[in-house]
Amino acid sequence: MIPPNFQPGDKVWLASNNIKTTRPTKKLSERWLRPFEVSKKAISHAYHLMLPLQWKSVHPVFHVSSLEMVNQSSIPNQNQLPPPPILVEEQEEWEVDQVLDSKLKRGKLWYLLEWKGFSEDPERTTLEPDSNINNAPDLVKDFHSLYPDKPTQIPQEFDLWFLVGSGVYESKFLSWNAPLKGYSNQICCKHHLVRFVSTCQFLWTGSEDLATSIP
């Protein structure tokens, strides 16, 4: 089989198995990456591609076996390719399009996410721990503004008062493993607080007088 002969300016697909990515699932990576422009022929059967600035850590020369001309109609989803990953602290990260849901699993907060550029992909949504979306705080904030009753993250250490049933509870620099100082009884944060996250009324204050002001 005669290898393809690309010319400078040609648009080509790049096989995704040549790029280490942090895409949310393996299935989202089993495809060709968006078209890239051929810059020049580097060596025999290898070409230099014009990669986006975010991919500065990726070597731009690829063998012809990893490239396909854009007009190849057999390339799947050729009109629905995702954008390249953004670079965050020298690591490639795929951009969150929107937050769809949140839930607590075994005391940890998880978000159902839809990834930008995968609107036509059946695997476009994944359930991710909250630590995976540190770089999308505005989307998380918007989600909780629309759905205030959905589970949300609680800081590991803070001053708060909160209401559970008829009991008012106080915590100074709360630790998940420490018991709460309760006015009616004690609740161990690690085992019980999480279940109240979506039902408690949180009162962010440092005032001792607040306890007497709550009916």
Amino acid 175: pLDDT: 42
CATH 2.40.50.40 residue spans of the chain: 95-146
95-146 maps to which CATH number?
Answer: 2.40.50.40
Helix (H), strand (E), coil (C) string for the chain? CCCCCCCCCCEEEEEHHHCCCCCCCCHHHCCEEEEEEEEEEEECCEEEEECCHHHCCCCCEEEHHHEEECCCCCCCCCCCCCCCCEEECCEEECCEEEEEEEEEECCEEEEEEEECCCCCCCCCEEEEEHHHHCCCHHHHHHHHHHCCCCCCCCCCCCCEEEEECCEEEEECCCCCCCECEECCCCCEHHHHHHHHCCCCEEECCCCCCHHHHCC
**pLDDT tens per residue, the chain (215 residues)?**
567 788 898 888 887 766 665 555 444 444 667 678 898 888 878 888 888 766 777 788 888 888 888 875 444 444 444 555 544 444 455 678 889 999 888 778 899 888 776 655 555 678 888 887 777 888 888 898 888 888 886 544 444 444 444 444 444 434 434 444 443 344 444 344 444 433 343 433 333 333 333 33
